[in-house]
Amino acid sequence: MSTEPFAAEAEALDAADPLAAHRDAFVGAETSLVYFDGNSLGRPPRATARRLADFVTAEWGGRLIRGWDESWMDLPFRIGDRLGRLTLGAAAGQTIIGDSTTVLLYKLLRAALSERSASDPERVEIVVGRDDFPTDRYLVEGIAAERGARVVWIEVDTARGVDADLLRAAVGPRTAVVLLSHVSYRSGYLADAENLTRIAHDAGALVLWDLCHSAGSVPVALDAWGVDLAVGCTYKYLNGGPGAPAFAYVAARHQGTLTQPIQGWMGAADVFAMGPEYRPADGMRRFLSGTPPVLAMLAMQDTLDLIDDAGIEAIRAKSVALTEFALRVGDGILSPLGVTLASPRDPSERGGHVTLSHPAMRAVTARLWQQDVIPDYRDPHGLRIGLAPLSTSFTETLTGLMAVAEAVRTES
Ligand SMILES: *Cc1c(COP(=O)(O)O)cnc(C)c1O
Protein backbone atom coordinates (compact mmCIF):
# COMPACT_ATOMS: atom_id res chain seq x y z
CA MET A 1 0.00 0.00 0.00
CA SER A 2 1.11 3.58 -0.63
CA THR A 3 2.47 5.40 2.38
CA GLU A 4 1.78 8.85 0.91
CA PRO A 5 -1.43 9.44 2.88
CA PHE A 6 0.48 8.58 6.07
CA ALA A 7 3.26 11.01 5.14
CA ALA A 8 0.71 13.79 4.72
CA GLU A 9 -0.97 12.82 7.99
CA ALA A 10 2.35 12.79 9.87
CA GLU A 11 3.22 16.21 8.52
CA ALA A 12 -0.17 17.59 9.53
CA LEU A 13 0.06 16.06 13.01
CA ASP A 14 3.54 17.54 13.51
CA ALA A 15 2.36 20.94 12.30
CA ALA A 16 -0.55 20.90 14.78
CA ASP A 17 1.47 19.42 17.68
CA PRO A 18 1.62 21.91 20.58
CA LEU A 19 4.71 20.08 21.92
CA ALA A 20 6.59 19.99 18.59
CA ALA A 21 9.09 22.65 19.69
CA HIS A 22 10.09 20.64 22.75
CA ARG A 23 11.71 18.08 20.48
CA ASP A 24 14.44 20.61 19.66
CA ALA A 25 15.37 20.66 23.34
CA PHE A 26 17.01 17.23 22.92
CA VAL A 27 20.46 16.27 21.67
CA GLY A 28 20.24 14.44 18.36
CA ALA A 29 16.75 15.62 17.37
CA GLU A 30 18.33 17.35 14.37
CA THR A 31 19.67 14.08 12.92
CA SER A 32 17.82 11.51 10.80
CA LEU A 33 18.20 8.78 13.45
CA VAL A 34 14.86 7.31 14.52
CA TYR A 35 14.68 6.73 18.27
CA PHE A 36 12.04 4.27 19.48
CA ASP A 37 13.70 3.60 22.83
CA GLY A 38 13.05 6.71 24.89
CA ASN A 39 11.13 4.37 27.22
CA SER A 40 14.40 2.53 27.97
CA LEU A 41 16.98 5.32 27.92
CA GLY A 42 15.64 8.79 27.16
CA ARG A 43 17.59 11.20 24.97
CA PRO A 44 19.62 13.86 26.81
CA PRO A 45 18.16 17.36 26.95
CA ARG A 46 20.58 19.90 25.46
CA ALA A 47 20.47 21.89 28.69
CA THR A 48 22.02 18.97 30.54
CA ALA A 49 25.52 19.39 29.04
CA ARG A 50 25.68 22.90 30.45
CA ARG A 51 24.15 21.90 33.79
CA LEU A 52 26.71 19.13 34.34
CA ALA A 53 29.69 21.26 33.26
CA ASP A 54 28.60 24.14 35.50
CA PHE A 55 28.17 21.81 38.43
CA VAL A 56 31.68 20.42 38.07
CA THR A 57 33.23 23.86 37.83
CA ALA A 58 31.17 26.00 40.17
CA GLU A 59 29.76 23.61 42.76
CA TRP A 60 32.03 20.58 43.01
CA GLY A 61 35.16 22.55 42.11
CA GLY A 62 34.20 25.80 43.79
CA ARG A 63 32.37 24.76 46.93
CA LEU A 64 34.11 21.42 47.53
CA ILE A 65 32.91 19.71 50.70
CA ARG A 66 30.93 22.80 51.76
CA GLY A 67 28.51 21.82 48.97
CA TRP A 68 26.99 19.12 51.15
CA ASP A 69 25.79 21.58 53.77
CA GLU A 70 24.93 24.27 51.29
CA SER A 71 22.68 22.21 49.01
CA TRP A 72 23.62 18.64 48.10
CA MET A 73 22.19 17.01 51.23
CA ASP A 74 18.77 18.41 50.33
CA LEU A 75 18.84 17.40 46.67
CA PRO A 76 17.19 13.94 47.10
CA PHE A 77 14.26 15.68 48.79
CA ARG A 78 14.15 18.83 46.68
CA ILE A 79 14.24 16.99 43.33
CA GLY A 80 11.99 14.27 44.76
CA ASP A 81 9.32 16.78 45.79
CA ARG A 82 9.40 18.46 42.41
CA LEU A 83 9.23 15.14 40.56
CA GLY A 84 6.36 14.13 42.85
CA ARG A 85 4.42 17.32 42.18
CA LEU A 86 4.97 17.39 38.40
CA THR A 87 4.62 13.71 37.54
CA LEU A 88 3.23 11.66 40.45
CA GLY A 89 0.42 13.68 42.01
CA ALA A 90 2.35 13.55 45.29
CA ALA A 91 2.30 16.34 47.86
CA ALA A 92 5.67 17.40 49.26
CA GLY A 93 7.52 15.28 51.80
CA GLN A 94 6.72 11.88 50.29
CA THR A 95 9.18 11.42 47.39
CA ILE A 96 12.95 11.00 47.41
CA ILE A 97 15.61 10.31 44.82
CA GLY A 98 17.49 7.32 46.21
CA ASP A 99 19.25 4.22 44.95
CA SER A 100 18.53 2.19 41.81
CA THR A 101 14.96 1.03 41.14
CA THR A 102 16.01 -2.48 42.14
CA VAL A 103 17.38 -1.41 45.52
CA LEU A 104 14.45 0.89 46.29
CA LEU A 105 11.95 -1.83 45.39
CA TYR A 106 13.81 -4.16 47.72
CA LYS A 107 13.76 -1.68 50.59
CA LEU A 108 10.07 -0.83 50.26
CA LEU A 109 8.92 -4.41 49.67
CA ARG A 110 10.81 -5.54 52.77
CA ALA A 111 9.43 -2.60 54.75
CA ALA A 112 5.85 -3.34 53.71
CA LEU A 113 6.12 -7.09 54.32
CA SER A 114 7.59 -6.57 57.80
CA GLU A 115 4.94 -4.05 58.80
CA ARG A 116 2.00 -6.15 57.57
CA SER A 117 3.18 -9.44 59.02
CA ALA A 118 4.08 -7.80 62.33
CA SER A 119 0.52 -6.50 62.67
CA ASP A 120 -0.98 -9.84 61.51
CA PRO A 121 1.28 -12.93 61.50
CA GLU A 122 -1.04 -14.63 58.97
CA ARG A 123 -0.05 -12.09 56.34
CA VAL A 124 2.96 -13.71 54.71
CA GLU A 125 2.11 -13.53 51.01
CA ILE A 126 3.59 -11.26 48.36
CA VAL A 127 1.48 -10.98 45.22
CA VAL A 128 3.21 -10.23 41.90
CA GLY A 129 2.55 -10.69 38.19
CA ARG A 130 4.24 -13.60 36.40
CA ASP A 131 5.12 -11.26 33.52
CA ASP A 132 6.51 -8.40 35.60
CA PHE A 133 9.96 -7.02 34.86
CA PRO A 134 12.66 -9.54 35.90
CA THR A 135 14.13 -7.45 38.70
CA ASP A 136 10.69 -7.19 40.33
CA ARG A 137 10.15 -10.96 40.18
CA TYR A 138 13.66 -11.82 41.34
CA LEU A 139 13.39 -9.45 44.30
CA VAL A 140 10.09 -10.94 45.39
CA GLU A 141 11.54 -14.44 45.27
CA GLY A 142 14.64 -13.35 47.17
CA ILE A 143 12.67 -11.56 49.87
CA ALA A 144 10.28 -14.49 50.24
CA ALA A 145 13.24 -16.83 50.77
CA GLU A 146 14.90 -14.42 53.19
CA ARG A 147 11.79 -13.76 55.28
CA GLY A 148 9.93 -17.06 55.01
CA ALA A 149 7.15 -15.44 53.00
CA ARG A 150 5.22 -16.97 50.13
CA VAL A 151 4.98 -15.72 46.55
CA VAL A 152 1.56 -15.67 44.90
CA TRP A 153 2.01 -15.40 41.13
CA ILE A 154 -0.66 -13.83 38.95
CA GLU A 155 -0.64 -15.50 35.53
CA VAL A 156 -1.14 -12.89 32.82
CA ASP A 157 -1.57 -12.62 29.07
CA THR A 158 1.78 -11.22 27.85
CA ALA A 159 -0.07 -8.86 25.49
CA ARG A 160 -1.87 -7.34 28.50
CA GLY A 161 -1.15 -7.15 32.25
CA VAL A 162 -2.75 -7.48 35.69
CA ASP A 163 -6.39 -6.33 35.73
CA ALA A 164 -9.05 -6.12 38.45
CA ASP A 165 -10.38 -9.67 38.07
CA LEU A 166 -6.91 -11.21 38.18
CA LEU A 167 -5.94 -9.21 41.25
CA ARG A 168 -9.19 -9.93 43.10
CA ALA A 169 -8.58 -13.65 42.63
CA ALA A 170 -5.03 -13.39 44.02
CA VAL A 171 -5.45 -11.35 47.22
CA GLY A 172 -6.96 -12.31 50.55
CA PRO A 173 -6.47 -12.40 54.32
CA ARG A 174 -2.92 -13.77 53.90
CA THR A 175 -1.72 -11.03 51.53
CA ALA A 176 0.87 -8.68 53.00
CA VAL A 177 1.90 -6.69 49.95
CA VAL A 178 1.06 -6.47 46.25
CA LEU A 179 3.70 -5.38 43.73
CA LEU A 180 2.26 -4.16 40.44
CA SER A 181 3.50 -2.43 37.28
CA HIS A 182 1.52 0.63 36.26
CA VAL A 183 2.58 0.21 32.63
CA SER A 184 3.76 -3.26 31.59
CA TYR A 185 7.32 -3.14 30.23
CA ARG A 186 6.43 -5.74 27.63
CA SER A 187 2.93 -5.00 26.34
CA GLY A 188 2.52 -1.38 27.40
CA TYR A 189 -0.70 -2.37 29.25
CA LEU A 190 -1.79 0.53 31.48
CA ALA A 191 -3.29 -0.72 34.72
CA ASP A 192 -6.21 1.02 36.43
CA ALA A 193 -4.04 1.90 39.41
CA GLU A 194 -6.79 3.50 41.48
CA ASN A 195 -9.07 0.49 41.20
CA LEU A 196 -6.30 -2.07 41.79
CA THR A 197 -5.09 -0.12 44.82
CA ARG A 198 -8.62 -0.29 46.27
CA ILE A 199 -8.78 -4.05 45.67
CA ALA A 200 -5.47 -4.55 47.50
CA HIS A 201 -6.63 -2.35 50.37
CA ASP A 202 -9.98 -4.13 50.64
CA ALA A 203 -7.96 -7.31 51.24
CA GLY A 204 -5.95 -5.56 53.96
CA ALA A 205 -2.72 -5.47 51.95
CA LEU A 206 -0.32 -2.67 51.11
CA VAL A 207 0.40 -1.91 47.47
CA LEU A 208 3.71 -0.97 45.85
CA TRP A 209 3.50 0.42 42.32
CA ASP A 210 6.41 0.14 39.88
CA LEU A 211 6.14 3.33 37.81
CA CYS A 212 9.20 2.80 35.58
CA HIS A 213 7.24 2.99 32.33
CA SER A 214 4.72 5.59 33.41
CA ALA A 215 6.58 8.39 35.21
CA GLY A 216 6.89 11.30 32.78
CA SER A 217 4.56 9.79 30.22
CA VAL A 218 1.27 8.84 31.89
CA PRO A 219 -0.41 11.04 34.53
CA VAL A 220 -0.14 9.50 37.98
CA ALA A 221 -2.14 10.60 41.06
CA LEU A 222 -0.59 8.70 43.97
CA ASP A 223 -2.17 10.80 46.74
CA ALA A 224 -5.64 10.82 45.15
CA TRP A 225 -5.52 7.09 44.45
CA GLY A 226 -4.57 6.32 48.05
CA VAL A 227 -1.37 4.51 46.99
CA ASP A 228 0.91 3.34 49.79
CA LEU A 229 4.28 3.01 48.06
CA ALA A 230 5.79 3.57 44.62
CA VAL A 231 9.17 3.36 42.91
CA GLY A 232 10.21 4.30 39.41
CA CYS A 233 13.08 4.91 37.02
CA THR A 234 14.35 8.34 36.06
CA TYR A 235 16.46 7.34 33.04
CA LYS A 236 13.46 6.35 30.89
CA TYR A 237 10.86 9.06 30.18
CA LEU A 238 12.58 11.39 32.64
CA ASN A 239 15.88 11.43 30.69
CA GLY A 240 18.08 11.32 33.78
CA GLY A 241 20.87 9.52 31.90
CA PRO A 242 22.29 5.98 32.08
CA GLY A 243 22.15 4.71 35.64
CA ALA A 244 20.37 7.76 37.04
CA PRO A 245 18.97 6.91 40.49
CA ALA A 246 15.31 6.03 40.98
CA PHE A 247 12.61 7.77 43.01
CA ALA A 248 10.62 6.34 45.88
CA TYR A 249 7.25 7.48 47.24
CA VAL A 250 5.99 6.58 50.71
CA ALA A 251 2.58 7.98 51.67
CA ALA A 252 2.90 10.27 54.70
CA ARG A 253 0.62 8.02 56.79
CA HIS A 254 3.16 5.16 56.55
CA GLN A 255 6.38 7.06 57.19
CA GLY A 256 6.24 6.63 60.95
CA THR A 257 5.63 2.88 60.87
CA LEU A 258 7.66 1.54 57.94
CA THR A 259 11.36 0.88 58.35
CA GLN A 260 13.66 -0.34 55.61
CA PRO A 261 16.38 -2.98 55.88
CA ILE A 262 19.47 -1.17 54.57
CA GLN A 263 20.25 0.83 57.69
CA GLY A 264 22.88 3.34 56.65
CA TRP A 265 24.07 6.54 58.25
CA MET A 266 22.20 8.79 55.77
CA GLY A 267 18.88 7.39 56.95
CA ALA A 268 19.66 7.87 60.62
CA ALA A 269 17.91 10.44 62.77
CA ASP A 270 21.01 12.55 63.29
CA VAL A 271 23.40 11.95 60.41
CA PHE A 272 26.40 13.72 61.85
CA ALA A 273 25.96 12.60 65.44
CA MET A 274 27.52 9.31 64.26
CA GLY A 275 26.02 7.70 67.34
CA PRO A 276 26.47 4.17 68.67
CA GLU A 277 23.25 2.79 67.17
CA TYR A 278 20.89 3.29 64.25
CA ARG A 279 17.71 5.20 64.90
CA PRO A 280 15.69 5.90 61.75
CA ALA A 281 15.08 9.54 60.84
CA ASP A 282 11.56 10.90 60.80
CA GLY A 283 9.99 11.34 57.38
CA MET A 284 11.47 10.31 54.05
CA ARG A 285 15.11 10.49 55.13
CA ARG A 286 14.74 7.05 56.76
CA PHE A 287 14.44 5.50 53.30
CA LEU A 288 17.92 6.69 52.31
CA SER A 289 20.92 4.51 53.10
CA GLY A 290 24.26 5.92 51.97
CA THR A 291 25.61 9.07 50.37
CA PRO A 292 23.21 10.34 47.69
CA PRO A 293 24.42 10.01 44.05
CA VAL A 294 24.43 13.76 43.49
CA LEU A 295 26.04 13.86 40.02
CA ALA A 296 23.66 11.21 38.74
CA MET A 297 20.51 13.04 39.85
CA LEU A 298 21.31 16.37 38.20
CA ALA A 299 20.21 15.67 34.64
CA MET A 300 16.60 14.71 35.38
CA GLN A 301 15.96 18.30 36.44
CA ASP A 302 16.11 19.45 32.82
CA THR A 303 13.28 17.13 31.90
CA LEU A 304 11.33 18.25 34.95
CA ASP A 305 11.70 21.80 33.56
CA LEU A 306 10.25 20.62 30.24
CA ILE A 307 7.38 18.80 31.96
CA ASP A 308 6.68 21.87 34.07
CA ASP A 309 6.43 23.85 30.86
CA ALA A 310 4.43 21.34 28.79
CA GLY A 311 2.17 19.85 31.49
CA ILE A 312 1.74 16.12 32.01
CA GLU A 313 -1.79 16.13 30.53
CA ALA A 314 -0.51 17.56 27.23
CA ILE A 315 2.33 15.01 27.29
CA ARG A 316 -0.18 12.19 27.72
CA ALA A 317 -2.37 13.59 24.91
CA LYS A 318 0.61 13.53 22.55
CA SER A 319 1.61 10.09 23.75
CA VAL A 320 -1.86 8.74 22.89
CA ALA A 321 -1.77 10.51 19.51
CA LEU A 322 1.64 8.96 18.75
CA THR A 323 0.63 5.41 19.67
CA GLU A 324 -2.70 5.76 17.81
CA PHE A 325 -0.81 6.94 14.71
CA ALA A 326 1.66 4.05 15.06
CA LEU A 327 -1.27 1.59 15.20
CA ARG A 328 -2.89 3.09 12.07
CA VAL A 329 0.41 2.86 10.18
CA GLY A 330 0.97 -0.65 11.54
CA ASP A 331 -2.50 -1.76 10.39
CA GLY A 332 -1.78 -0.25 6.97
CA ILE A 333 1.72 -1.48 6.18
CA LEU A 334 2.72 -4.10 8.79
CA SER A 335 -0.40 -6.25 9.24
CA PRO A 336 -0.25 -7.35 5.58
CA LEU A 337 3.27 -8.70 6.34
CA GLY A 338 1.98 -10.86 9.19
CA VAL A 339 2.93 -8.47 12.01
CA THR A 340 0.47 -8.54 14.91
CA LEU A 341 -0.14 -6.20 17.83
CA ALA A 342 0.96 -7.42 21.29
CA SER A 343 -0.38 -4.33 23.10
CA PRO A 344 -3.90 -3.18 24.03
CA ARG A 345 -5.85 -1.49 21.22
CA ASP A 346 -7.85 0.68 23.57
CA PRO A 347 -5.71 3.78 24.30
CA SER A 348 -7.14 4.02 27.84
CA GLU A 349 -5.42 0.68 28.52
CA ARG A 350 -2.13 1.59 26.86
CA GLY A 351 0.93 3.51 28.04
CA GLY A 352 3.58 5.12 25.85
CA HIS A 353 4.83 2.18 23.83
CA VAL A 354 3.41 -0.45 21.50
CA THR A 355 4.76 -3.92 20.91
CA LEU A 356 4.64 -5.48 17.45
CA SER A 357 5.00 -9.20 17.07
CA HIS A 358 6.48 -11.28 14.23
CA PRO A 359 8.77 -14.35 14.26
CA ALA A 360 11.55 -12.34 12.55
CA MET A 361 11.64 -9.46 15.06
CA ARG A 362 14.97 -10.39 16.67
CA ALA A 363 16.74 -10.22 13.30
CA VAL A 364 14.67 -7.18 12.34
CA THR A 365 15.89 -5.32 15.42
CA ALA A 366 19.55 -6.07 14.65
CA ARG A 367 19.08 -4.90 11.06
CA LEU A 368 17.34 -1.69 12.13
CA TRP A 369 20.07 -0.75 14.64
CA GLN A 370 22.59 -0.88 11.75
CA GLN A 371 20.38 1.64 9.94
CA ASP A 372 20.06 4.10 12.86
CA VAL A 373 16.49 3.06 13.58
CA ILE A 374 16.46 2.09 17.26
CA PRO A 375 13.57 0.09 18.72
CA ASP A 376 14.22 -2.79 21.10
CA TYR A 377 13.45 -6.46 21.20
CA ARG A 378 11.58 -8.39 23.88
CA ASP A 379 10.68 -12.07 23.83
CA PRO A 380 8.55 -13.57 22.47
CA HIS A 381 9.05 -12.02 19.00
CA GLY A 382 8.25 -8.51 20.22
CA LEU A 383 9.53 -5.28 18.72
CA ARG A 384 8.95 -2.47 21.21
CA ILE A 385 8.20 0.92 19.71
CA GLY A 386 8.73 3.45 22.50
CA LEU A 387 7.37 6.88 21.65
CA ALA A 388 8.68 9.45 24.14
CA PRO A 389 6.21 12.31 23.72
CA LEU A 390 8.62 15.19 24.32
CA SER A 391 11.30 13.98 21.92
CA THR A 392 9.50 12.00 19.19
CA SER A 393 7.76 13.40 16.11
CA PHE A 394 5.03 11.84 13.98
CA THR A 395 7.28 11.99 10.91
CA GLU A 396 10.03 10.19 12.82
CA THR A 397 7.46 7.55 13.84
CA LEU A 398 6.39 7.00 10.23
CA THR A 399 9.99 6.84 8.96
CA GLY A 400 10.80 4.24 11.59
CA LEU A 401 7.74 2.09 10.89
CA MET A 402 8.48 2.15 7.16
CA ALA A 403 11.96 0.87 7.99
CA VAL A 404 10.39 -1.86 10.14
CA ALA A 405 8.24 -2.94 7.18
CA GLU A 406 11.28 -3.07 4.89
CA ALA A 407 13.27 -5.08 7.44
CA VAL A 408 10.41 -7.55 8.04
CA ARG A 409 10.20 -8.11 4.27
CA THR A 410 13.95 -8.73 4.08
CA GLU A 411 14.12 -11.02 7.11
CA SER A 412 11.06 -13.18 6.45
C1 LIG B 1 13.59 -0.47 33.69
C2 LIG B 1 12.86 -1.18 34.77
C3 LIG B 1 13.52 -1.54 35.96
C4 LIG B 1 14.99 -1.30 36.10
O5 LIG B 1 15.50 -1.37 37.37
P6 LIG B 1 17.02 -0.88 37.61
O7 LIG B 1 17.27 -1.13 39.01
O8 LIG B 1 17.07 0.58 37.21
O9 LIG B 1 17.89 -1.66 36.69
C10 LIG B 1 12.75 -2.13 36.97
N11 LIG B 1 11.42 -2.37 36.80
C12 LIG B 1 10.79 -2.05 35.63
C13 LIG B 1 9.33 -2.31 35.48
C14 LIG B 1 11.49 -1.46 34.59
O15 LIG B 1 10.88 -1.17 33.46
- Could you read off the pLDDT of 179-234 as tens digits, one per residue? 999 999 999 999 999 999 999 999 999 999 999 999 999 999 999 999 999 999 99
For 226-243, b/e burial (b = at least 16 CB within 10 A) is bbbbbbbbbbbbbbbbee
pLDDT of residue 178: 98
* Separation between Cα atoms, residue 325 and residue 402, nearest integer Å: 13
pLDDT digits (tens, 9 = 90+) for 53-83: 999 999 999 999 999 999 999 999 999 999 9
**Is residue 318 among the annotated active site residues?**
no
Tell me the whole-structure pTM to 2 decimals. Answer: 0.98
pLDDT of residue 114: 98
**Is residue 235 among the annotated active site residues?**
yes
Ligand 1 atom closest to Cα of 233? Answer: 8
Of the candidates 26, 36, 106, 133, the residue annotated as catalytic is 133
DSSP-derived 3-state class of residue 229: strand
Amino acid present at 161: G
Using most ligand atoms within 8 A of CB, pick from 41, 101, 130, 213 the residue to mutate for ligand 1. Answer: 101
pLDDT of residue 272: 85
Residue 250 is classified by DSSP as E
pLDDT of residue 266: 96
Q: Is 100 in the pocket of ligand 1 (CB under 6 A)?
A: yes
Strands 229-232 and 206-210: parallel
Name 278's Cβ contacts closer than 8 Å, sequence gap at least 6. 263, 267, 268
* Separation between Cα atoms, residue 167 and residue 179, nearest integer Å: 11
Strand ranges for 70-122 from DSSP E: 95-97
Name 344's Cβ contacts closer than 8 Å, sequence gap at least 6. 159, 160, 187, 188, 189, 190, 350
Q: How many CB atoms lie within 10 A of CB 264?
A: 13
- Cα(105) to ligand 1 centroid in Å equals 9
Q: How many CB atoms lie within 10 A of CB 155?
A: 11
**Is residue 384 among the annotated active site residues?**
yes
- Tell the residue nearest (CA) to atom 1 of ligand 1: 212
* Separation between Cα atoms, residue 16 and residue 34, nearest integer Å: 21
Amino acid present at 41: L
The sheet that has 340-341: what strands, in order across it? 340-341, 353-357, 382-386, 376-378
Radius of gyration of the chain (CA): 22
Of the candidates 43, 123, 384, 394, the residue annotated as catalytic is 384
Low-confidence ranges of the chain (pLDDT < 50): none
pLDDT of residue 149: 98
CATH numbers and ranges of domains, the chain: 4-46+311-411 (3.90.1150.10), 71-306 (3.40.640.10)
Instruction: Report the DSSP beta bridge partners of residue 340.
Output: 357
Torsion of CA 323, 326, 327, 330, to 10 degrees: -160
Amino acid present at 170: A
